Amino acid sequence: MQKRKLGKSNLEVSAIGLGCMGMSFGYGPAKDKNEMILLIQAAVERGVTFFDTAEVYGPFTNEELVGEALAPMRERVVIATKFGFKFGPKGEQIGLDSWPEHIKQVAEASLKRLKTDFIDLFYQHRVDPDVPIEDVASVVKDLMHEGKVKHFGLSEAGVQTIRRAHAVQPVTALQNEYSLWWRKPEEEVLPMLEELGIGFVPFSPLGRGFLSGKISENTTFDHSDLRSTLPRFTPEARKANQALVDLLGKIAKRKKATPAQIALAWLLAQKPWIVPIPGTTKLHRLEENIGAASIELMPDDLREIESAASKINVQGARYPEKLEQMTGR
């Protein structure tokens, strides 16, 4: 597995990471813990060194899973987790909270669940409009001075917020959704990251599974699967967006690869400081995703994808309005 550096930082990770959320949360019922521990460890054995979790996934259970799985091989891996949500008495998510005291409490709790002395990359999960980003950056800077955090990250932040944060404490990585079916980061975010030397970690690089070609207009989702609430996953939108999967399939056939591998290879070809974090709960999918790192898309391939994709109008918003309002602040 090739390595990549996230921007100008010295944080080196595998070219493809592993998003662990879906093992515990978000895409139907939580999977068997022991099976997921073995899957995470299998990823390390195959060269993956970058693992993504958050306190809100579960909540809390995903960090516990990742911590238990990686404790025996902690020195070989980079663990990213996130703060910024507020929870009710039953663990339900009830809003945002990035006040400094809360961030410190989250850091301590995450360290315990992750069974570690330090968090490699600590992201603000969503920008809290009530708390100046300078205060957020400052408290993470303090945690870094204490040795509890190694790197500061932001997720789904807007360009002005990133600049303001970066002026207080250099941001190592930004985590936003980015894939062939969500290309908004190309407008303002990617040029700014290049300017400031910040790495980019695309989540949902396979369009929440859609770009793998394994989801059709007839697929049904469990009520606990967040895709059942997303406008982009209505049957009508899936039918319209199949054109993008067909395009990936066409290139994949020529490259003796899969649509998912082409989608990931396309992301890797955009910038040398982009590290996608596809999630999976299956070993054969993990191996398929890892295989994308060795697929080289030539300039002609990229031009063909660009030309064809520009004619496809992706249907459906990626989030319901309330969730979309929490992004790009």
CA atoms of 82 and 80, how far apart (whole Å): 7
Give the CA distances from residue 216 to residues 22, 28, 220, 243, 246, in Å, rounded to whole numbers and listed in that order: 20, 17, 9, 11, 12
Select from 79, 26, 7 the least CA-distant residue to 50.
Answer: 79
57 an active-site residue?
Answer: yes
CA–CA dist 147, 141 (Å, integer) = 10
Four-residue CA torsion sign, 63, 66, 72, 77? negative
Q: State the distance between the two ends of the chain, measured CA to CA, in whole angstroms.
A: 35
Contact 211, 190 (CB under 8 A): no
**Beta bridge mates, 122:** 81, 152
- Distance from C-alpha of 224 to C-alpha of 229, rounded to nearest angstrom: 9
Nearest CA to 20 out of 31, 12, 11, 9 is that of: 31
- Residue 120: phi and psi, rounded to 5, are -65, -45
Answer whether 212's CB lies under 8 Å from 180's CB. Answer: no
Tell me the one-letter amino acid at 107: A
| Phi, psi values for residue 83, rounded to 5° | -125, 170
Residue of 29, 21, 24, 25 whose CA lies nearest to 51:
21
Of 27, 57, 123, 178, the catalytic one is 57
What whole-number distance in Å separates Cα of residue 43 and Cα of residue 284?
11
**Could you give the residue numbers annotated as active site?**
57
